[in-house]
């Protein structure tokens, strides 16, 4: 179903207005306060640092919120309860991953483990806080290298612009501290790769994704398409799948 766009807000008004000027039929620019008052659903695409304040403001106004920077939610679990308390929807798109319906269903029973392995070209990981903190340089890498192994919570803190998919997997499943994440840098790789394995009383589920990168090498085109579909779905009373 079509969803009319009320407008946009940004941390950098000048940059946002300049970009809007390049679009045909561009939506209007508003302050965040005015945008919240004019909208029924807010869609965050500003990065994890913007999530807590935006969520509290949206929920206080009785508005629904879609969070793209899902990793930020792992450090602010109170936002889930705030959404429930105020009867507002907090929506998290699947992003660049698939199979969250299967993960959610499986976790209604006993699940032994959920593991996720992400492979990306080195340039897609450059600048990640975890790499800087540990002095890991990827320039000139000639073979596949594991650069991280740990929980989804740790992965999202160390790679906030790279592995929001791991946050979605952990929130749909057994949680950010029990979900194991591996991140590998692979020279010459042309597609962002995600492999998820779930083992439990239901049996075994394996999910394999090979995403074509978007204009931003840190994320895949499937992530953008997931956001579009999630917005449409938010306004559609018909729902297919778990």
The token pair that represents 33 in the structure block: 């306060």
Positions marked active-site = 194
**Exposed e or buried b per residue across 28-56, where buried means at least 16 C-beta atoms within 10 angstroms of its C-beta:** ebbebeebbeebebbbbebebebbeebbb
The token pair that represents 205 in the structure block: 């589920």
214 burial type by CB count under 10 A (0-12 exposed, 13-18 middle, 19+ buried): middle
CA nearest to 164, candidates 51, 9, 40:
51
The token pair that represents 157 in the structure block: 């803190």
Q: Are 177 and 153 in contact (CB under 8 A)?
A: yes
């Amino acid at each position: 179903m079509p969803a009319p766009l009320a407008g946009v807000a940004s941390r950098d008004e000048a940059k946002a207005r300049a970009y809007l000027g390049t679009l045909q039929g561009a939506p209007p620019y508003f302050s965040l306060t005015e945008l919240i008052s004019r909208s029924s659903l807010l869609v965050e695409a500003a990065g994890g640092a913007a999530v807590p304040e935006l969520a509290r403001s949206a929920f206080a106004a009785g508005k629904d919120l879609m969070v793209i920077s899902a990793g930020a939610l792992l450090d602010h679990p109170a936002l889930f309860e705030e959404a429930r308390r105020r009867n507002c929807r907090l929506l998290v798109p699947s992003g660049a991953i698939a199979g969250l319906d299967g993960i959610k269903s499986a976790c209604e029973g006993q699940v032994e483990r959920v593991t996720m392995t992400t492979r990306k070209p080195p340039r897609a990981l450059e600048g990640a806080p975890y790499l800087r903190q540990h002095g890991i340089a990827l320039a000139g890498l000639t073979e596949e290298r594991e650069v991280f192994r740990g929980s989804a919570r740790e992965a999202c803190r160390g790679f906030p612009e790279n592995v929001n998919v791991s946050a979605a997997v952990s929130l749909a499943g057994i949680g950010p501290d029990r979900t194991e994440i591996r991140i590998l840098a692979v020279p010459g790789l042309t597609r962002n790769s995600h492999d998820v394995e779930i083992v439990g009383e239901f049996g075994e589920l394996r999910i394999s994704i090979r995403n074509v990168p978007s204009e931003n090498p840190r994320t895949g085109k499937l992530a953008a398409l997931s956001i579009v579909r999630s917005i449409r779905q938010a306004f559609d009373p018909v729902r297919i799948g778990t």
